[in-house]
Chains A and B, each alone.
Chain A
Amino acid sequence: MISEELVNALIENPAVSREEVEDVYRDSEFPVLMVEADAVGAVSEFLRDTEGYEFDFLKNLTAVDFEGHMHVVYHLYSTSLRHKIMLKVQVGREQPVVPSVEPVWRGADWQEREVFDLFGIEFAGHPDPRRIMLPEDWQGHPLRKDYVHEPDHYD
């Protein structure tokens, strides 16, 4: 469990916390930070590089589609200090763009390609932004709630 003090210090830290870092939920073993899209790069580097945090492992990068908006969810783990944290970024449905964390954690490479493939969220600065699971010429993003499947020649 990441300690309360570290989470509070994270919110107060001038290197990270502008008004963009919002609410924090401390209920579970995954305290959640809502982060603005612009601050994702700075927050990621801070969490990875700072003493006491040392989040060197990106366990999961995924997205959730709600009615009016979408969340990009990051699960982070520290292999040296054994604590966890979760970041959530809220994006809209039209032209969603989030800075890529691939320069920070290499494992984000294919995870971000998967999120782009299935949700249509673009990651700025990703070295290889293309679909990963669906054919290259697929139209649409299937895990969105408003996806309608057009029958093709296989159906």
Chain B
Amino acid sequence: MADRNVGPLLTAADMLPGVGGDIIVTEADFFINWARRSSLWALTFGLACCAIEMMAAYAARFDFDRFGVIPRPTPRQADLIIIAGTVTKKMAPRIERLYHQMPDPKYVISMGSCSNCGGPYYDSYSVVKGVDKVIPVDVYVCGCPPRPEALMYGVLKLQEKIREKSLRQEINASA
């Protein structure tokens, strides 16, 4: 927070001496972005081997929950989708449908070589060469499969990206 020009974060104790209240004054952007990046509920879309590493990231040793990331089985309650695995041409319309079922604001992490660019199955007749041919991707996590720490780094990068967003841009973009 200190590296952005948000102005001082004022508490009620600063403004009203003698009042020990719990009032915090801040910018709307800062507060909303903090809330959105700190509780990214993920629709886990484990398709192939990357799903195993994603499960490892959720489990005890690497623990996603400490970043606020918990798995949701339904796209309606998720704001992040992690595409973990090979995207086949049969699966691609289903991914698009689930992406449209997610409410805004939504983010997409493409995990692993196959969903980044087709991966080792680039020449196959049935593989889509990257999930970004179907849905827009925010963060690409490289690896085959990426280690759980790499997936976590991808989530941290996404949090940095969310930190930079502004309400005014979103309102203008949707207008």
Contact = CB atoms under 8 A, between A and B. Distances in A.
Interface of A: 133-135, 142, 147, 149, 152, 154-155
Interface string B138-155: 000000000000000000
B90 A133 contact: yes
A133 to B, nearest CB: 7
Determine the main DSSP class of B at the interface with A: loop
A147 B125 CA distance: 10
Contacts of A152: 89
Indicate the size class of the contact surface on chain B. Answer: under 10
Most buried by A among B125, B129, B133: B125
Given A142-B125, A142-B126, A149-B125, A154 B89 contact: yes
A133 B128 CA distance: 15
B86 to A, nearest CB: 13
Contact of B133 (A133, A142, A149, A154): A154
A134 B129 contact: no
A135 B93 CA distance: 11
18 contacts: A133-B90, A133-B126, A134-B89, A134-B90, A134-B126, A135-B89, A135-B90, A142-B125, A142-B126, A147-B125, A149-B125, A152-B89, A154-B89, A154-B92, A154-B128, A154-B129, A154-B133, A155-B129
A96 B156 CA distance: 55
Contacts of A135: 89-90
Contacts of A149: 125
B125 to A, nearest CB: 5
A134 B125 CA distance: 10
Interface in B75-120: 89-90, 92
Contacts of B133: 154
**Smallest CB-CB A-B distances: 3 pairs:** A149-B125, A135-B90, A154-B128
A154 B131 CA distance: 10
Contacts of B126: 133-134, 142
A134 B90 CA distance: 6
A155 B125 CA distance: 9
Given A133-B90, A142-B125, 8 more contacts: A133-B126, A134-B90, A135-B90, A142-B126, A147-B125, A152-B89, A154-B128, A154-B133
